[in-house]
Chain A
Amino acid sequence: NAGVTQTPKFRILKIGQSMTLQCTQDMNHNYMYWYRQDPGMGLKLIYYSVGAGITDKGEVPNGYNVSRSTTEDFPLRLELAAPSQTSVYFCASRMGGQGTEAFFGQGTRLTVV
């Protein structure tokens, strides 16, 4: 299985540009998450989804949007890129049940200049 796939792996954006980070999983997991990782700060939750058509804000949602039209896909949209959004973004998914672990994608390294 491919697991959780993120594209692109790297991207440089100019301030004010927009882009979509893609995330797809082939494990039929209901739960999907977007985190950002900044040096020394651990992972911060941006948005999450408990199933198709349902999304909710995490700890740091400002400047981002998500949609979940299918079980497999959970894209993250940056509308007006800002330097503060320079980070590494991780998508993750897990099956239902409180004790299940999450599976992570390889990450997207985004630089806003």
Chain B
Amino acid sequence: AQSVAQPEDQVNVAEGNPLTVKCTYSVSGNPYLFWYVQYPNRGLQFLLKYITGDNLVKGSYGFEAEFNKSQTSFHLKKPSALVSDSALYFCAVRDGGKGNTPLVFGKGTRLSVIA
């Protein structure tokens, strides 16, 4: 069965510093990986995805993520954090070897950027 782990419940970073939000996954087929962000009292917004191709994918708001097949990871990164990046971040996976299965989400990581 497919699964996602986000090992950190909370990540704190100073404004202007680089940030990383970690995600590891488990699927039997090819992984289709996604990052979403949730601001308070809002729905989830799509940030970026990895389907195939370059291991480094770029997304909205200056975020990027690196796919690492050997470590089964898809960490979200940003070179310089903003206070407005403070939100709840979700990693999700779909098993590409099992047809159009629904996304499976991690438990989320709360990012707090401190001015």
Contact = CB atoms under 8 A, between A and B. Distances in A.
Interface of A: 4, 31, 33, 35, 40-43, 45, 48, 50, 58, 90, 92, 96-99, 101-107
Given A101-B34, A107-B43, A40 B9 contact: yes
Nearest to A43: B105
A43 to B, nearest CB: 4
A95 B43 CA distance: 18
Contact of B46 (A45, A90, A102): A102
- Contact-size category for B: 20 to 34
Nearest to A48: B102
Interface of B: 9, 32, 34, 36, 41-46, 49, 51-52, 90, 94, 96, 99-100, 102-108
A105 B41 CA distance: 11
Nearest to B103: A102
Given A42-B90, A42-B107, A104 B102 contact: no
Contact of B43 (A50, A101, A106): A106
Contacts of A107: 41-43
B49 A42 contact: no
A31 B99 CA distance: 13
